[in-house]
């Protein structure tokens, strides 16, 4: 099965062939490297930009204004912060002009911890991104969703923020992307750039399809009856594993992958919490003014009388960065053990 | 600053056709009267904030006249800041729209009552929305220009902003992105230098002799011009635009202009008195050369004043946007 980086690459290939994507660009996005995570290797519209994040977002806005369909990359979300007012402008352009202009543009950026990236390659961006109205915000947790969400992002006529959990970019999927060959080695031979001189290399793309994961739709990745766990990105597979492990202890957890952070699938969450009466929100951004806090607030306001226990949030510690040493990173953002313990505790909590 | 390309004041005849001179004058008056009306509306309580371009008409009118107006990459894009009303008038825009935005009524054609005065937007003519953060438009301009370069033809991107704002990184971004070797972009990068950023004098803030000089490091054609002389501005813009249209390369132009009513209503919006008024000097020349008489020019101004007073009376009767409209247009919907 393809890994997430390959999935993104294949979706972008499909999008430049069939969905009108005109430009895939950013620092080291074009040849020879094809992106620091290889997600843009071999793409015909990929190009390298000056090392200027504000210039990259400005370029995307300008291209979108003049009929282009750009996919811009910020190399690491840690470096997107100096573009925030441009992201705000992109998000408010349609509204500020009372519908005169719209900006069909995608910004993709790797987020989060998990590769021992230390202080400036571990930032999350979900809390910040969900403070910027006018964008649609997606974050996949597996290659198939990564493919399908990128297809949807490229079909959008509004700005889409596509967050790539960097810890998952090299993890292979469990479900096949429609059109993907059976054999992983073959796929790699077809679409991964060779080591060494790449100047003559051209990828051989498989026959791909417009498999789309609709923006705004979450997914129940494990059905359960006693407690709801809502997550996305890097922590989602950890939640799923925790739920599977806890089944042996008699804890039956339902796990929801949000996939889209805005506009998000409240109906799915609500239905589940009404059923279980217990909910744990899990993400790894810093916990103060965290997106999960919004979800907790909404849960309290709308579902209070259905709850058997207080809604909980497990998120990153509110500290200035994620330290490099193993113990520091592990202590800073939710790990497998933290998540399993939190679900176990919540499932057993009695009024 | 280099000398203006023409004209000492003893010139024999003016180097533009009479018809064009009269048209430019007409538009300059129209734009000035509009701005003065907007200021008056503000002072009478018909609007919360005024900002605009009185004093820049001699530059902004020729700019609008020379633009290739239309929608899409075959035509010129304008990424402007908040002093561009005269360009809009020169493009043929009706002044009542600016008044509607001033009064933030529901009929405001640029923002539906959401944005400040002078924040134009008109997709039909490639007028990119003016937004308040200084200099962001310079980061966007290379994007529209890249689409135009690919499209072929002679459409160009024009970006305008003030002198103080050039200290922002987005100005440097514009220089960098529009001059990449082999990927030069058809952008006319304009800085209207009024020597002020709100209350801060340019004196003491700039190490460069002229803002335009910064383009030289990027192998860009550059020029600092007298933007208070509409004839000079017309000819300089014509030449610069021709270069950008044909060569598909950037040009950095700095136009020295006046700021006749201060920065905005926040500083009172009163006539300053100690800056050159481009309209006064132009009118003296037109009169001296027998292009227009004082009476003709006075009549014109009175006519515009009456027209716009009537428009303002109409605008202040128009409805405000309803509170439920805050939810409109957060996203574009597929038609
Ligand atoms: C990024 C940003 N910082 C500060 C402001 C507040 N502000 C509005 S206009 C202005 C001065 C701009 O001066 P200049 O660029 O010379 O343009 P001018 O108004 O003189 O035409 C400032 C500081 C702003 N709008 N945006
Ligand atoms: Mg200034």
Query: Per-residue pLDDT tens for B221-254?
Result: 999 999 999 999 999 999 999 999 999 999 999 9
Ligand nearest to the CA of B193: 2
Closest among B148, B153, B145 to B188, alpha carbons compared:
B145
Question: Where are the alpha helices (H) located in chain A, listed in sequence order?
Answer: 4-18, 53-65, 84-96, 126-129, 143-155, 184-191, 235-247, 266-276, 291-303, 326-332, 336-348
The alpha carbon of B119 and the centre of ligand 1 are apart by a number of angstroms equal to 14
Residue identifier of the C-alpha nearest atom 13 of ligand 1: B197
- Whether B76 contacts B122, CB under 8 Å: no
Q: Do B143 and A60 touch (CB under 8 A)?
A: yes
Mean pLDDT to the nearest integer, B39-47: 98
Say if pTM beats, i.e. exceeds, 0.80.
Answer: yes
The alpha carbon of B163 and the centre of ligand 1 are apart by a number of angstroms equal to 9
Q: Is B134 in the pocket of ligand 1 (CB under 6 A)?
A: yes
Looking from the CA of residue B133, the nearest atom of ligand 1 is: 26
Q: CB within 8 A of B144, min separation 6: which ones? A: A62, A63, A65, A66, B73, B77, B79, B126, B128, B157
- Beta strand pairing call for B200-201 and A312-316: unpaired
From A13, A18, A121, A131, the catalytic residue: A121
Query: How many alpha carbons lie under 13 Å from residue B193 in its C-beta half-sphere?
Result: 22
Q: How confident is the model at residue B12 (pLDDT cuts 50, 70, 90)?
A: confident
pLDDT at B4: 54
pLDDT at A337: 98
- Residue B154 pLDDT greater than 70, yes or no: yes
Q: Do A54 and B139 touch (CB under 8 A)?
A: yes
Does A32 sit behind a cis peptide bond, omega within 30 degrees of 0 on the bond before it? yes
Give the environment of ion ligand 2: residues with CB less than 5 A: B 162-164, 194, 196
Q: Is B334 on the interface with A (CB under 8 A)?
A: yes
Query: How many alpha carbons lie under 13 Å from residue B216 in its C-beta half-sphere?
Result: 10
- For chain A, the first-to-last Cα distance in angstroms comes to 45
CA–CA min distance A87, chain B (Å): 11
Q: In chain A, what residues touch B108 (CB-CB under 8 Å)?
A: 98
Q: Is B159 on the interface with A (CB under 8 A)?
A: no
Q: In chain B, what residues touch A67 (CB-CB under 8 Å)?
A: 72-73, 147
| C-alpha to C-alpha distance for A106 and A233, rounded to whole angstroms | 18
Q: Which of B331, B333, B334 to mutate to test the interface with A (most CBs of A within 10 A)?
A: B331
The alpha carbon of B84 and the centre of ligand 2 are apart by a number of angstroms equal to 13
| C-alpha to C-alpha distance for A88 and A93, rounded to whole angstroms | 8
> How many CB atoms are closer than 10 A to CB B137?
26
Mean pLDDT to the nearest integer, B260-269: 96
pLDDT digits (tens, 9 = 90+) for B93-135: 999 999 999 999 999 999 999 999 999 999 999 999 999 999 9
CA-angle at B207, arms to B201 and B208, nearest 5°: 105
Residue with token string 């469990």: A174
| Domains assigned to chain B | 18-320 (3.40.50.970)
Cα torsion B94, B99, B102, B108: sign: negative
Q: Among partner residues B115, B144, B176, which is closest to A65 by beta-carbon distance? A: B144
* Mean pLDDT for all residues in chain B: 96
Q: Is B133 on the interface with A (CB under 8 A)?
A: yes
Strand partners, B13: none
Q: Which of B169, B332, B334 to mutate to test the interface with A (most CBs of A within 10 A)?
A: B332
- Whether B76 contacts B126, CB under 8 Å: yes
Q: Do A65 and B143 touch (CB under 8 A)?
A: yes
pLDDT at B2: 52
Task: Provide φ and ψ at A123, rounded to 5°.
Answer: -60, 145
| Domains assigned to chain A | 4-191 (3.40.50.970), 219-348 (3.40.50.920)
pLDDT at B5: 55
CA–CA min distance A86, chain B (Å): 7
Ligand nearest to the CA of B82: 1
| C-alpha to C-alpha distance for B232 and B216, rounded to whole angstroms | 22
How does DSSP classify residue B14? -
Q: Among partner residues B77, B114, B136, which is closest to A58 by beta-carbon distance? A: B136
Catalytic residue check, A121: yes
pLDDT at B8: 52
Mean pLDDT to the nearest integer, B6-28: 86
Q: Which of A89, A100, A101, A102 to mutate to test the interface with B (most CBs of B within 10 A)?
A: A100
pLDDT at B3: 53
Q: How confident is the model at residue B335 (pLDDT cuts 50, 70, 90)?
A: confident
Separation in Å, CA A294 to CA A127, A238, A317 = 10, 22, 17
Q: Is B66 in the pocket of ligand 1 (CB under 6 A)?
A: no
Ligand nearest to the CA of B60: 1
- Beta strand pairing call for B200-201 and B196-197: antiparallel
| C-alpha to C-alpha distance for A280 and A273, rounded to whole angstroms | 10
Q: Is B195 in the pocket of ligand 1 (CB under 6 A)?
A: no
pLDDT digits (tens, 9 = 90+) for B167-218: 999 999 999 999 999 999 999 999 999 999 999 999 999 999 999 999 999 9
3-state secondary structure of A61: helix
Q: Among partner residues A52, A70, A96, which is closest to B176 by beta-carbon distance? A: A52
The alpha carbon of B203 and the centre of ligand 2 are apart by a number of angstroms equal to 11
Looking from the CA of residue B198, the nearest atom of ligand 1 is: 11
Q: Is B227 in the pocket of ligand 1 (CB under 6 A)?
A: no
Q: How confident is the model at residue B6 (pLDDT cuts 50, 70, 90)?
A: low
Q: Is the ipTM, as predicted for this complex, more than 0.90?
A: yes
Burial class (CB in 10 A: 0-12, 13-18, 19+), B274: exposed
- pLDDT under 70 in chain A at which residues? none
Q: Is B237 in the pocket of ligand 1 (CB under 6 A)?
A: no
pLDDT at A150: 98
Q: Is B198 in the pocket of ligand 1 (CB under 6 A)?
A: yes
Side-by-side strand order, sheet with A219-222: A219-222, A253-257, A227-231, A279-286, A312-316
Q: Among partner residues A54, A65, A158, which is closest to B169 by beta-carbon distance? A: A54
Torsion of the alpha carbons at A35, A40, A46 and A51, rounded to the nearest 10: -20
Closest among A100, A108, A82, A97 to A4, alpha carbons compared:
A108
pLDDT at B10: 60
Q: In chain B, what residues touch A66 (CB-CB under 8 Å)?
A: 72-73, 77, 143-144, 146-148
Q: Is B248 in the pocket of ligand 1 (CB under 6 A)?
A: no
Q: In chain A, what residues touch B133 (CB-CB under 8 Å)?
A: 85, 89
The alpha carbon of B297 and the centre of ligand 2 are apart by a number of angstroms equal to 30
């Amino acid at each position: 099965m393809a890994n997430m980086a390959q999935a993104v690459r294949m979706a972008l290939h499909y999008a430049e062939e069939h969905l009108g994507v005109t430009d895939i660009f950013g620092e080291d996005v074009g040849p020879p490297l094809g992106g620091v995570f290889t997600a843009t290797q071999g793409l015909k519209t990929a190009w390298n930009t000056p090392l200027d994040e504000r210039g990259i977002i400005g370029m995307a806005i300008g291209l979108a204004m003049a009929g282009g369909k750009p996919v811009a990359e910020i190399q690491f979300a840690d470096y997107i912060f100096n573009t925030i007012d441009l992201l705000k402008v992109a998000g408010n352009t349609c509204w500020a002009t009372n519908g005169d202009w719209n900006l069909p543009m995608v910004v993709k950026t790797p987020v989060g911890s998990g590769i021992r990236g230390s202080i400036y390659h571990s930032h999350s961006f979900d809390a910040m991104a969900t403070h910027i109205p006018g964008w649609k915000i997606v974050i996949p947790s597996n290659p198939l969703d990564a493919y399908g969400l990128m297809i949807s992002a490229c079909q959008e006529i509004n700005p889409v923020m596509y967050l790539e959990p960097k810890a998952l970019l090299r993890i292979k999927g469990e479900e096949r992307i429609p059109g993907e060959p059976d054999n992983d080695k073959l796929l790699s031979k077809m679409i991964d750039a060779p080591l060494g001189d790449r100047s003559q290399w051209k990828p051989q793309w498989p026959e791909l399809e417009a498999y789309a994961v609709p923006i705004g739709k979450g997914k129940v990745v494990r059905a359960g009856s006693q407690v709801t766990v809502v997550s996305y990105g890097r922590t989602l597979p950890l939640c799923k594993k925790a739920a599977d492990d806890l089944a042996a202890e008699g804890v039956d957890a339902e796990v929801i992958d949000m996939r889209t952070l805005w506009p998000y699938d409240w109906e799915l969450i609500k239905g589940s919490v009404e059923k279980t009466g217990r909910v744990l929100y899990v993400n790894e951004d810093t916990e103060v003014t965290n997106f999960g806090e919004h979800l907790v607030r909404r849960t309290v306001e709308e579902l209070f009388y259905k709850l058997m226990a207080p809604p909980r949030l497990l998120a990153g510690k509110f500290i200035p960065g994620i330290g490099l040493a193993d113990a520091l990173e592990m202590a800073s953002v939710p790990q497998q053990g933290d998540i399993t313990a939190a679900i176990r505790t919540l499932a057993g909590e009695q009024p | 600053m280099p000398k203006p390309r023409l004209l000492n004041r003893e010139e024999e005849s003016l180097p533009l056709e009479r018809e064009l001179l009269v048209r430019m004058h007409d538009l300059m008056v129209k734009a000035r009267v509009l701005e003065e009306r907007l200021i008056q509306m503000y002072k009478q309580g018909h609007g919360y904030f005024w900002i605009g371009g009185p004093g820049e008409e001699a530059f902004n009118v020729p700019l609008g006249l020379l633009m290739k107006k239309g929608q899409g990459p075959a035509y010129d894009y304008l990424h402007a800041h908040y002093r561009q009303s005269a360009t809009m008038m020169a493009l043929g825009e009706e002044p009542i729209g600016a008044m509607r935005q001033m009064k933030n009524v529901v009929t405001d054609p640029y923002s539906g009552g959401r944005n400040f005065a002078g924040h134009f937007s008109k997709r039909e003519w490639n007028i990119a929305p003016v937004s308040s953060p200084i200099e962001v438009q310079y980061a966007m301009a290379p994007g529209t220009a890249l689409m135009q370069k690919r499209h072929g033809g002679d459409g160009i991107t024009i970006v305008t902003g003030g002198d103080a704002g050039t200290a922002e990184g987005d100005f440097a971004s514009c220089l960098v992105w529009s001059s990449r070797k082999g990927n030069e972009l058809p952008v006319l990068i304009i800085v209207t230098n009024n020597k002020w950023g709100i209350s801060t004098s340019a004196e003491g803030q700039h190490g460069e002799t002229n803002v335009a000089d910064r383009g030289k490091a990027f192998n860009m054609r550059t020029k600092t011009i007298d933007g208070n002389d509409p004839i000079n501005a017309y000819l300089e813009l014509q030449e610069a635009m021709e270069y950008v249209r044909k060569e598909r390369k950037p040009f950095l132009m700095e136009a020295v202009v006046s700021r006749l009513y201060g920065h905005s209503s926040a500083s009172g919006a009163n006539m300053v008195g100690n800056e050159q008024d481009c309209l006064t000097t132009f009118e003296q020349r037109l009169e001296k050369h027998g292009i227009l008489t004082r009476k003709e020019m006075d009549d014109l101004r009175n006519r515009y004043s009456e027209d716009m007073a009537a428009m303002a009376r109409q605008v202040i009767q128009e409805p405000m946007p309803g509170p439920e409209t805050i939810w409109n247009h957060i996203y574009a919907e597929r038609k």
